[in-house]
Structure 1
């Protein structure tokens, strides 16, 4: 046997792909395989926006492979069974795939290894395909993972990422391995109207544009809601149409404060992955419990639904939530504000918000989503668990002219200047002009007092961030 199978998962690219490079070494034939995992669908993670983006990515990957003499083999079902079937059909002696961090991925990997070995085949798992530094590669003296970002970042920054690999010039795929028809986003219901396109070609164009015209100003503009000055590369990182190692190299090559701030965000991504790899339960359980008794019942659900629909009466929160529904994506500052409002001001369980984000976000990544929600809720790795973000103050700071709010909350298009952030204070014609926009679901002071009581903290113990 002189054939390898490459199992693509969250690494849907040809550039800087260590499994593909290793699988094709020495002129070996390669079967590029993607399995639409039944387990992902059963767990509720196969949502319309990510399925649509995935369809784009698979079509783009297939096109890139065909340009090099290959093709993508698509199967659906249970991953271990499908990989073994393809390996047998191709008479392949080895399978290559990228390492992942979730408990589900680890279990799938071990099951696949045992099944392949029973057939006389080998499994090769490659680190630093979806991360810059492998989870578990950096540990403090007293633990199996870092629980605080700053010391992790210090160690992470001292590592030199591996050199990126070029895309293969040519590939040879054996005959006789059947494939399903590639999916199309056009056939999917429930996709957000403004969902961006996926695929490596789109990703690399976006990256080139970002490096040329966005990176330099990133440090000073990344919180500018109306300016939309973030990279918007997170969906491509989630699906692996871009390599995080390559991004670090190219950002550092550009240099400057913007590049340093951007690289720091990539380090946060690795940080969350090493936490999830070491503590898989944090996907659903508190990393550091605060013994919260989250609100439940009809009133809490009504508040949560107003939050989902972007009708809380707080314009910057509603703008962020409506952006999420329309684009399947949300500005990073908007994510922080929306999460703080739900968990601190409304005192609703972070899992309610995390689930809604995963239902809509095209970059709905388990490690980043769950652990960022916990960071904001105060049950995660944040060393200041009781900070509260004031949506009015934050709106004035990060959307001072109200352009972001007016873009996503058209009811407030006529509200004058910064008054758009407190529409309940408008009077006369200005008040009439906002039509059916709702009053706030809760007074900020009342919400803060409720949160303080719930956490059983004194005023001096709280760190309230109203800026």
Structure 2
């Protein structure tokens, strides 16, 4: 075969990349292509932090391809039109792409097929590139997906994962194919000051360090807010700079309770993909409607703004929100607390919180962001939809000395120990303008429960 095209989307890597390996194996020349799709902005998926991290990933991918004799071809426009043009100019007979589950990814695949009609080129979608297992690989009997995580995890854990593929040693890109410049982080405005660097090399280095120094302690420390015992690999998984399947294999090779707990989190990621694959409307609609009549009006808008700014009067919630603003990332326990506070203490629509997270999270995507928000809001797959996370109880358990709070809420650094979690009990001069609580916790909890009972 003369030429093949590999359309990169959320799989920006060279290692364990089935579409790229298939193209290199079958064709004399390969066009590794990334299309800067303006449609991403139109549907609200564009955010400064992700744009900057994406630029890092694309630059690293281009550098890795050049080391192997190739290069990354970057174009701007509609992916279907760009691909059709390249098929015509290169004579490519196949276009390889990773399969996605979002409505946007499915629509893109449909448009690609339509664009290739009459060209003689074939679209090949590859499963288990973005996830460890294909979304439809594990199903419960006659149903199309698992609605509860535990039985899914049980069956998922028993499946055989494909072995990770190495990166191609060399490839040739048609010299006549033009490319726009690879975007640079420096050209993106409005990014969080503490945003991590992107790229496959950075991700693989973090994975190696994590396996060596962090994974053995993960089960004990993954909820420790100040200790930050998480892997911080989620942005690299989101952009496909790391392979989920390879992460599972490497974690299992490390062994131990920490590795098991980490693999369980990767399973959660696959679980959410299979839910959204079967119920794409869940990206914007309640997966399990509870009859909610979320609060609206000026008071609700004021409280939502205070939540976004990290000024709710509950230090552990505010610390999490300020970490998000500074890093474009938030500790997993912080995400749970911030989401529970918005939806079940303030009783505000989960979509408000999901949208704010998507504005800032470098690892934010429709699948995991929306499904996690629904899980916390009780409209998703949680088998205990009425659970309410008390921020004071949670803070005492997961930030017992208050170090996480003092790091992110400087107004409270003068308060020692766990007393920092209830600053309203301290003299005003120790709080430096820190606000009073937006709502009494018992009042918020009772309001939520009454609303659910009436709904």
Q: Please, what TM-score do these two structures have when normalized by structure 1?
A: 0.96
| 1:443 equivalent in structure 2 | 440
The DSSP-based 3-state class of the residue aligned with 1:118 is coil
| 2:89 equivalent in structure 1 | 89
Matches within 5 A, 1:204-219: 204-219=204-219
| 2:429 equivalent in structure 1 | 432
| 2:75 equivalent in structure 1 | 75
Matches within 5 A, 1:19-30: 19-26=19-26, 28-30=28-30
Q: How far apart in 2 are the matches of 1:409 and 1:457?
A: 37
Q: How far apart in 2 are the matches of 1:352 and 1:229?
A: 28
Deviations 1:218-240 (A, max 9, x none): 01110000001100000000000
Q: Please report how far the alpha carbon of residue 54 of structure 1 lies from its aligned counterpart in structure 2 after TM superposition.
A: 0.2
Question: Where in structure 1 are there 5+ consecutive unaligned residues?
Answer: 459-467
| 1:463 equivalent in structure 2 | none
Check if 1:10 corresponds to 2:7. Answer: no
Matches within 5 A, 1:31-430: 31-427=31-427
Q: Are the counterparts in 1 of residues 216 and 257 from structure 2 also a CA contact under 8 Å?
A: yes
The DSSP-based 3-state class of the residue aligned with 2:117 is helix
Q: Please report how far the alpha carbon of residue 142 of structure 1 lies from its aligned counterpart in structure 2 after TM superposition.
A: 3.7
The DSSP-based 3-state class of the residue aligned with 2:36 is strand
Q: Please report how far the alpha carbon of residue 26 of structure 1 lies from its aligned counterpart in structure 2 after TM superposition.
A: 4.4
| 1:462 equivalent in structure 2 | none
The DSSP-based 3-state class of the residue aligned with 1:125 is strand
Deviations 1:260-280 (A, max 9, x none): 000000000000000000000
Task: Find runs of 4+ consecutive structure 1 residues off by over 3 angstroms.
Answer: none
Which of 430, 451, 454 aligns to 1:454? It is 451
Q: How far apart in 1 are the matches of 2:438 and 2:301?
A: 12
Aligned length: 455
The DSSP-based 3-state class of the residue aligned with 1:230 is coil
Q: How far apart in 2 are the matches of 1:82 and 1:26?
A: 22
The DSSP-based 3-state class of the residue aligned with 1:34 is strand
Further displaced range: 445-454 or 402-411: 445-454
Query: Considering only aligned residues, what root-mean-square deviation do their CA atoms show, in Å?
Result: 1.1
Deviations 1:32-55 (A, max 9, x none): 000011211111111100000000
Further displaced range: 287-296 or 181-190: 181-190
Q: How far apart in 2 are the matches of 1:401 and 1:83?
A: 56
The DSSP-based 3-state class of the residue aligned with 2:369 is helix
Q: How far apart in 1 are the matches of 2:365 and 2:44?
A: 13
Q: How far apart in 1 are the matches of 2:404 and 2:454?
A: 34
Q: How far apart in 1 are the matches of 2:291 and 2:138?
A: 30
Deviations 1:166-189 (A, max 9, x none): 001101011111111111111111
The DSSP-based 3-state class of the residue aligned with 1:407 is helix
Deviations 1:5-45 (A, max 9, x none): 00001000000000000001045210000001121111111
Q: Are the counterparts in 1 of residues 402 and 420 from structure 2 also a CA contact under 8 Å?
A: yes
The DSSP-based 3-state class of the residue aligned with 1:224 is coil
Deviations 1:64-87 (A, max 9, x none): 000000000001111101111122
Q: How far apart in 2 are the matches of 1:340 and 1:385?
A: 11
Further displaced range: 337-346 or 94-103: 94-103
| 1:464 equivalent in structure 2 | none
